[in-house]
Homo-oligomer: A and B are copies of this chain.
Amino acid sequence: MRGEILNAAAEIIVRQGYEACTMRAVAALVDMKAGSLYYHFKSKDEIVEEILNQGIETLFEFVQDTIRNLPAEAPFAEKVSAAVGAHLSSMVGKDRTFMHVYEHLPPVIKRRSRKMREKYAQLWRDLFAAGVDGGEVDPAIDLAIVIPYFLGGLNRVPEWIRASGATSDTVTTLATTMLLRGVGLRA
């Protein structure tokens, strides 16, 4: 039940925004009354925070596993391609709407997940740092800026997948290409 409540809340946030995500709306979606939610959670904040943390954690592990499942000596381009694909599929896939919630949250709440987001960004920085070491990435590129830059672009993907009608694969390919070329891939 706890999970169903989280799912309901996440769905409302993604589809209608944080404003529309009232305790009564969430309760209605799981066929309950607002007050009953307080049996499972001590506050609305706890619900949102759990959605956020669970979402980032899931994303982190999925992308990390994807990278690790490749042979260590796999070319940089292949790793990036896989990672981008993993990131994107986490955003557009079914039952994986968690991360998309983030966009709709008020700043006060977003700040609570800063540490986890930082951890996720580090995953990408490590990936690219290895690319630099391997001589596949232009060392002049400032990773501290590039990573949030292109992650920012990626996080918008669901929005314009719907708008442009492009498939998830098309988008993944394009995003990967842009990114690899952008960092001056040498191979």
Contact = CB atoms under 8 A, between A and B. Distances in A.
Interface of A: 16-20, 104, 106-108, 141-142, 144-146, 148-150, 152-157, 159-160, 163-164, 166, 170-171, 174-175, 177-179, 181-184
Contacts of A17: 106-108
Main secondary structure of the interface of A (DSSP, over half): helix
A180 to B, nearest CB: 8
Given A145-B174, A177-B182, 4 more contacts: A144-B164, A145-B160, A148-B156, A152-B157
B179 A16 contact: no
A16 B108 contact: yes
A142 B155 contact: no
A178 B157 contact: no
A171 B153 contact: no
Contacts of A155: 152
B183 A178 contact: yes
A66 B180 CA distance: 29
Contacts of A171: 145
**In the complex, the 8 A-B pairs of residues with the closest C-beta atoms, listed nearest first:** A152-B156, A153-B153, A178-B182, A17-B106, A148-B160, A182-B182, A17-B107, A19-B106
